[in-house]
Chains A and B, each alone.
Chain A
Amino acid sequence: MSVDEVTVTATEGLPDPSGLATGGQRKQPKPHHRIATFVVVVMSILWALPVLGFFITSLRSKAAADNTGWWTVFVHPSLTFSNYINVLFHGGANIQGGGLFPYAMNSLAIAIPATIIPIIVASMAAYSLSWVRFKSADTVYFIIFGLQVVPLQMSLVPLLQLYSHGAHIGGFLIFPNLNLHGSIAEVWISHTMFSLPLAVFLLYNFIAQLPNELIEAARVDGAGYLYIYRRVVMPLSLPAIASFTIFQFLWVWNDLLIGLTFSAKNASAQPLTVQLQQLSGTFGSHLDLLTAGGFVSIIIPMIVFFSLQRYFVRGLLAGSVKG
């Protein structure tokens, strides 16, 4: 079957005047086609099946999961919730210190500051570059914008060295060792720094287009630049901030590389993804724990995804060059 065939049938109907009358906003309903429907259904099932199997296994006992395929559950239904309790609070396999719950808290403790602080820092910078202005503001914006091409892989080693040794020039300390020792702070500070080029770019696009009259009027009324930022710019930028928040929160929550790199010295600061990655080495023998733990890590993005899909798409499109 081909796109060709399907589209031909779909366009057989004569031009429908209603399609033109609505100004191209909504297309006229097209006739359904068997092959198109078939392709869509098969593809949807293929896409959903791996997740479904994973979810079902997370609800099966260890013995059942280890010995039979998840599809047998439809013949011999027996489900339990105990895997979730085990994996979250009791641990097992090579999860250290009683379950994944503390690591889920780590993920949260990393993602919250790594989302809020970039928003504040980036919106201030965007406002300065677009409204307060100075001679080389455009050049500064262009440089920050251009930093989007630098992959974060370029920063890993130097940043690790900075965190553990400080910075020296000829034996003279110019930046102190922050004594973070692979703590949660190392992870979220790194995320904050890496997110800024994209955050400034997105917020600049929005803030620069705020209505001139509003900001001029505030200036005429005698408001200072900083007052305008807090009382005019921030509240008006909420739509852009919402899109960025969702994108950045999910990006940090789902990240492996930064979490792995900056918490290597200190396992108790690891995010959930790092623990799951380590658990995957024992795949065959701990399916019950692995599926339940995996599902815990994807449930938060799922909730965000299904409840805020519109903002999510917007953030995804805008953030598509990040990395």
Chain B
Amino acid sequence: MHLLTTSLGKLLTVAESVGGFVAILAFLFWVAGKVRGRFEKPIANILLLGPAVILLMVGLVIPAFRTIFLSFRGQYAIGPNVKYVGLANYKWAFTDPHTLHTLLRTAEWLVLVPLVSTVLGMVFALLVDRMRFQVIAKSLIFMPTAISFVGASLIWKYVYQYRSPGLQQIGLLSEVVMKLGWSHPPNWLLSAPLNTFLLMVILVWIETGFAMVILGAAIRSVPDDVIEAARVDGAKGWRLFRSVQLPMISTTVTVVIITIMTATLKIFDIVYTITGGDFKTDTLSNEMYTQIFESFNTGRGSALAVVLFMAVVPLVTVSILRLRKERYA
């Protein structure tokens, strides 16, 4: 009973927030709708654009500048201890052994995950076209895209569960390798550097479906007459793919790779849920969270956020420019 009333209470709060917002807007629309003539347009624009501009300023623009400001300050962001420390936080980020390893590990993620996901997605997209039950196969590969990173992490943590070899195994990976004759497998998630690759597998598992769907659509959109013409000229198999299909979908391939790179760069949930960044699995985004919310060092955390930002800018810019070029070409 208690459960029911609190749940209803929560949903009522939602209705209040959304309803209140809509009611205020409706009232403003009604008032502003009376205005005609010279002021109609400016007032309409202020009302229409105002909420978005205010929310963006408060939520993104000002905080971003403030984070840059904080990255040059000491440990505490508020109170008497705020002092200018120059580039100390950045120096720490690129010289401290732990952080340096974290950055290098993030770079490993950044190379391997997009590459493997894109190749697997491409292979699958090319092969599945010739299958009888292709809808089922595609759905299975694509399904992880809908699952949260936390959900995926729990699913895979179960796969990687370790029991000492004498006991009944409950983790799928241990069971399989032991059946294959590896009698003393390591404790998967505690053994570096293996554990980092096992975490990467999770992200590959999620992103391959994305790559498959987008690349599959691009491959199908290559006109049949182009393929036929190439075949008449004698291009077959790998050569057909390499010199006709691949060049024609190169924009899409770039966008897919960069999109996965951006997601990889920000990867937080998987590392945080499975190892918390321990056992040499830390990544940039996780270390940023740790610095801010566990070590309470806002200066260092902010510096890492700025490093992340600097790394994301070129990726997103290239992706958007390519998409725009394709759309408006």
Known: A102-B7, A157-B66, A277-B153; 5 extra A-B contacts, CB below 8 A, are A20-B224, A27-B224, A192-B55, A196-B56, A294-B154
Interface residues of B in 270-319 (CB under 8 A from A): 272-274, 285, 288-289, 292-293, 298, 301-302, 305-306, 308-309, 312-313, 316-317, 319
Residue of B with least CB distance to A223:
B33
User: Main secondary structure on chain A at its contact with chain B?
Assistant: helix
Partner of A5, one of B47, B237, B255, B262: B237
For the complex, give the distance between the alpha carbons of A312 and B18 in Å: 24
For the complex, give the distance between the alpha carbons of A193 and B120 in Å: 35
Q: Does A81 contact B (CB under 8 A)?
A: no
Q: Does B107 contact A (CB under 8 A)?
A: no
Q: Does B228 contact A (CB under 8 A)?
A: yes
Question: What mask results when residues 159 to 186 of chain A are scored 1 for a CB within 8 Å of chain B, else 0?
Answer: 1011001000000000100000000110
Q: Does B88 contact A (CB under 8 A)?
A: no
Q: A112-B14, A116-B18, A264-B293 are in contact. Are A273 and B150 (CB under 8 A)?
A: yes
User: Inside 8 A of A78's CB, which chain B residues have their CB?
Assistant: none
> Which among A2, A193, A230 has the greatest number of chain B C-beta atoms within 10 A?
A193
What are 24 A-B pairs at a CB distance below 8 A? A3-B123, A6-B237, A19-B224, A40-B124, A49-B172, A98-B3, A112-B18, A134-B45, A150-B64, A150-B309, A153-B285, A153-B309, A154-B63, A154-B308, A158-B66, A175-B58, A190-B59, A194-B60, A196-B59, A294-B155, A297-B148, A305-B143, A321-B316, A321-B319
Q: Does B97 contact A (CB under 8 A)?
A: no
Q: A151-B309, A193-B55 are in contact. Are A254 and B7 (CB under 8 A)?
A: no
Question: What mask results when residues 176 to 217 of chain A are scored 1 for a CB within 8 Å of chain B, else 0?
Answer: 000000001100111011101100100000000000000000
Please list the residues of chain A having a beta carbon within 8 angstroms of any beta carbon in chain B.
2-8, 10-11, 15, 19-20, 23-24, 27, 30-33, 36-37, 39-41, 43-44, 47-51, 53-54, 57, 65-71, 89, 98-99, 101-102, 105-106, 108-109, 112-113, 116-117, 120-122, 124-125, 127-129, 132, 134, 140, 144-145, 147-151, 153-159, 161-162, 165, 175, 184-185, 188-190, 192-194, 196-197, 200, 224-227, 229-230, 250, 253-257, 261, 264, 273, 276-277, 280, 283-284, 287, 290-291, 294, 297-298, 301-302, 304-306, 309, 312-313, 316-317, 320-321, 323
Q: A109-B13, A250-B146 are in contact. Are A36 and B127 (CB under 8 A)?
A: yes
User: Inside 8 A of A54's CB, which chain B residues have their CB?
Assistant: 154-155, 158
Q: A50-B155, A50-B159, A54-B154 are in contact. Are A7 and B14 (CB under 8 A)?
A: no
Partner of A200, one of B52, B168, B273: B52
* Contact B298–A124 (Cβ < 8 Å): no
Closest chain A CB from B23 CB (angstroms): 12
Q: A15-B231, A320-B259 are in contact. Are A226 and B33 (CB under 8 A)?
A: yes
* Contact A302–B63 (Cβ < 8 Å): no
Closest chain B CB from A313 CB (angstroms): 6
Q: A19-B228, A227-B33 are in contact. Are A256 and B148 (CB under 8 A)?
A: yes
* Contact A8–B3 (Cβ < 8 Å): no
For the complex, give the distance between the alpha carbons of A230 and B33 in Å: 11
For the complex, give the distance between the alpha carbons of A17 and B232 in Å: 13
User: Inside 8 A of B213's CB, which chain A residues have their CB?
Assistant: 313, 316
> Which among B48, B129, B298 has the greatest number of chain A C-beta atoms within 10 A?
B48
Of B108-116, B130-138, B190-198, the stretch lying at the interface with chain A is B130-138
For the complex, give the distance between the alpha carbons of A162 and B63 in Å: 9
Partner of A196, one of B55, B139, B149, B238: B55
User: Inside 8 A of A53's CB, which chain B residues have their CB?
Assistant: 155, 158-159, 172
For the complex, give the distance between the alpha carbons of A59 and B84 in Å: 57
User: Inside 8 A of A121's CB, which chain B residues have their CB?
Assistant: 51-52, 55
Please list the residues of chain B having a beta carbon within 8 angstroms of any beta carbon in chain A.
3, 6-7, 10-11, 13-14, 17-18, 21-22, 25, 29, 32-33, 36, 40-42, 44-45, 47-49, 51-53, 55-56, 58-64, 66-67, 70, 77-78, 120, 123-124, 126-132, 134, 136-137, 139-141, 143-151, 153-159, 161, 168-172, 175, 205, 208-210, 213-214, 220, 223-225, 228, 231-232, 236-238, 240-241, 255, 259, 262-263, 266, 268-269, 272-274, 285, 288-289, 292-293, 298, 301-302, 305-306, 308-309, 312-313, 316-317, 319-320
User: Inside 8 A of B154's CB, which chain A residues have their CB?
Assistant: 54, 276, 280, 290-291, 294
For the complex, give the distance between the alpha carbons of A120 and B50 in Å: 12
User: Inside 8 A of B137's CB, which chain A residues have their CB?
Assistant: 40-41, 43-44
For the complex, give the distance between the alpha carbons of A64 and B289 in Å: 37
User: Inside 8 A of A145's CB, which chain B residues have their CB?
Assistant: 320
For the complex, give the distance between the alpha carbons of A81 and B109 in Å: 39
* Contact A229–B263 (Cβ < 8 Å): no
* Contact A39–B127 (Cβ < 8 Å): yes
Partner of A57, one of B143, B158, B305: B158
* Contact A256–B269 (Cβ < 8 Å): yes
For the complex, give the distance between the alpha carbons of A34 and B129 in Å: 13
